Structure 1
Amino acid sequence: NTDISRKLRERDFAIEELINTELAYNNSLIEVRDVFYKPMKASKMLTLQQLDDIFPHWNELIDTSTEFCRDLNDYVKSDSSDQSISQILLKHMIKFKVYRLYCTQQRVACETLQHCLSSNYRLNQLVKIFEKNTKTKGLPLSSYLLKPMQRITKYKLIVEKIATNTPISCPDYDEVVKVNNLMSALLKSIDHAIGSKDNPNRIDWFRSRLIGADKWLLDWLSDNTAQHPHDRPCLVHCGTLYKAKSNREFICFLFNKYLILTTPNYNTNGRLFEFPSTNQLNEIKWSFILYKEPLALNQVSSI
């Protein structure tokens, strides 16, 4: 009984944390719209496409959070049973899919913002003024753009806390377990979507800069029509390698089926290889010389 009482107290604390932090998060979303988005749109220094790139699905995020806040406030005012909190979470889980849309575009949002600020001095100064008008008095806009990604991660942590402290004897135990599983699945799908979105662009970029490759390899790298996803090229990892004795530099690209070893056809200045940002992909003129025929992954262990 003592253990159950302790768990129920921890559960109540987690529910209270969910409610209080959702209200603060909702206020931040609205603040971005009113303090940044609307004045930036009115300034006409950015195209509508640039605004959409910087603030993707922002109104949908506001609507989703506002509806969630409304139900959470009703829960508090009506002094509902604990079962209601799991029902509220289940009701809104379907709407949280907007976070997948946002998170897959969040990196482009930050890169577009950085590009616009660095190429437009007047806009840069204007945004600095806007940043001083926020409640935080100086938190950069780029930090606000991270809040939705941070929030969906926070949801998972709070829901896990609620689930951990929900005794099996609770009437809503099964619903809480279901919410926890759905939230974990959503986070995994977001992680997968972020990786999948970057992959085709990076593969195309690498393929167009690969020197000495046979036609079959180039065809495989551009094959996104295979019936089974596992048969399509997927870039798993890349990075710099050095040969043990000669210290020769290689840049390797590990795909789902092959390991491709290349030598850089540019001066790396000793810097380890990292993919350029999305905005820089077409600007950077790096190229790579195929070192040897691609190695099938079942052969890699014997090298």
Structure 2
Amino acid sequence: MQESLFEVVTSEASYLRSLRLLTDTFVLSQALRDTLTPRDHHTLFSNVQRVQGVSERFLGNLLSRVRASPHIRDLCDVVHAHAVGPFSVYVDYVRNQQYQEETYSRLMDTNVRFSAELRRLQSLPKCQRLPLPSFLLLPFQRITRLRMLLQNILRQTEEGSSRQENAQKALGAVSKIIERCSAEVGRMKQTEELIRLTQRLRFHKVKALPLVSWSRRLELQGELTELGCRRGGMLFASRPRFTPLCLLLFSDLLLITQPKSGQRLQVLDYAHRSLVQAQQVPDPSGPPTFRLSLLSNHQGRPTHRLLQASSLSDMQRWLGAFPTPGPLPCSADTIYEDCGWLKGLPGAFPAQLVCEVTGEHERRKHLRQHQRLLEAVGPSSGSPDAPPP
């Protein structure tokens, strides 16, 4: 147990020495700074000096405990106190890691002065010929190593003891930091993907919308073919028109785009994901075909498209991403009453009998109910001109 506890201290001391080497040799180098813009310098080294400050205070607390007694009783309570507080600096550092890597690669390819000065610094004996990226990876490697040390300590603690409780708390807190770091890496990659995708989109005849959001992620993307009729003709009665499309399905949104030259995508339509339905069209002789319905598109109108997939498995992916239209659980005779809709002729209703739905969630819910109503009543029974409020 003593050896495992001492390893926490000695490994932190070694880690701190490496951080100081990174700071003194690279971060504070005026010659290297002179080759960079302030923005590139900040992106490249991020908040590593704050990380160093946290490590210095952490090691100081560990050493205070060691000096208090030759026999170390416990250190996990010290680890826990830092993990639930100052260690959040690791999350901030890792959040910038993707930009850090991209900036480093770009500078090495395009900035001759930077690459030459960096090679000179890396060749110094104190750097032991280690490249800069190996130093930049130290913070995440350290927090991961600390978790392994705590797992080893926990295995050696006495069942039901205070040391076991402290080790469990420390391990849980450090594990949460690592989980947050991993989540930030994934989130930053998703955001970067959205930024790159936004640069390819063209909103010509469609109202543009902000695509980049921390909560939005791209879940499915694929090329499909829209089956339509030529001008003046009828579908299946004349030679059909085939239009290539690219569908982009996000966690909350569906974009229907058309590929253009230069990898550009022209946006044709979009809708909230909850207002999209897909249903297979039986056609054993032809390619896999399904109907894609937007209950309310970017103009607030329902639209339908007949799409062909390259394979059955490709179609199944899209069908599985959206609900399939189905009948309401009530009969056609009672559908208006059971679904909370007013029964009567199209037109104006007394104000005291109706209320306007302003919430987006409720509006989408009513639109879905309206679509199910039309399908349950059938074309022969007619349909309301508009969904109820």
Aligned CA distance change for structure 1 residues 287 and 103 (closer, same or farther; 3 Å): same
Correspondence for 2:294: none
2:32·2:114 contact (CA, 8 Å) conserved in 1?
no
Counterpart AA for 1:70 = G
Counterpart AA for 1:19 = V
1:100 equivalent to 2:94? Answer: no
1:71 equivalent to 2:61? Answer: yes
d(CA) in 1 for partners of 2:155, 2:220: 35
1:147 to partner: Cα distance: 1.1
Counterpart AA for 1:137 = Q
Structure 2: state its 5+ residue gaps: 226-243, 279-316, 321-389
| Cα deviations by residue, 1:33-85 (Å, 9 ceiling, x for unpaired) | 11112224565222332221111112111111112222222333333665530
Aligned CA distance change for structure 1 residues 261 and 187 (closer, same or farther; 3 Å): farther
d(CA) in 1 for partners of 2:247, 2:7: 46
| Cα deviations by residue, 1:130-156 (Å, 9 ceiling, x for unpaired) | 001153421111221111121122222
Correspondence for 1:193: 184
Correspondence for 2:8: 18
Decide which moves more: 90-99 or 188-197.
188-197
Correspondence for 2:200: 209
Aligned CA distance change for structure 1 residues 254 and 156 (closer, same or farther; 3 Å): farther
Correspondence for 1:235: 218
1:286 equivalent to 2:263? Answer: yes
Corresponding residue to 2:77 among 54, 79, 87? 87
d(CA) in 2 for partners of 1:241, 1:24: 52
1:212 to partner: Cα distance: 8.1
Correspondence for 2:169: 178
Corresponding residue to 2:19 among 11, 14, 29? 29
Correspondence for 2:143: 152
d(CA) in 2 for partners of 1:28, 1:236: 40
1:35·1:134 contact (CA, 8 Å) conserved in 2?
no
Counterpart AA for 1:222 = L
Count of matched residue pairs:
261
Decide which moves more: 113-122 or 51-60.
113-122
Aligned CA distance change for structure 1 residues 214 and 172 (closer, same or farther; 3 Å): farther
Aligned CA distance change for structure 1 residues 25 and 236 (closer, same or farther; 3 Å): farther
Correspondence for 1:256: 251
1:252·1:261 contact (CA, 8 Å) conserved in 2?
yes
Return the TM-score normalized by structure 1: 0.70
Correspondence for 1:222: 211
Correspondence for 1:56: 46
d(CA) in 2 for partners of 1:287, 1:112: 25
| Cα deviations by residue, 1:87-136 (Å, 9 ceiling, x for unpaired) | 21122211111101110012212222222232222221111110011534
Counterpart AA for 1:287 = R
Counterpart AA for 1:27 = R
Correspondence for 1:270: none
d(CA) in 1 for partners of 2:259, 2:6: 55
The structure carrying a bigger strand percent of its residues is 2
Corresponding residue to 1:162 among 153, 166, 171? 153
Decide which moves more: 32-41 or 21-30.
32-41
1:291 to partner: Cα distance: 10
Decide which moves more: 200-209 or 256-265.
256-265
Decide which moves more: 203-212 or 104-113.
203-212
1:27 to partner: Cα distance: 0.7
Counterpart AA for 2:186 = G
Structure 2 SS opposite 1:222: coil
d(CA) in 1 for partners of 2:252, 2:211: 14
Aligned CA distance change for structure 1 residues 159 and 298 (closer, same or farther; 3 Å): farther
Aligned CA distance change for structure 1 residues 263 and 55 (closer, same or farther; 3 Å): same
Structure 2 SS opposite 1:173: helix
1:253 to partner: Cα distance: 4.9
Superposed, which structure 2 residues align to 1:291-302 within 5 Å? Answer: 300=317, 302=319
Decide which moves more: 201-210 or 104-113.
201-210
* Percent sequence identity over aligned pairs: 19
d(CA) in 1 for partners of 2:220, 2:144: 24
Q: CA RMSD in A?
A: 3.5
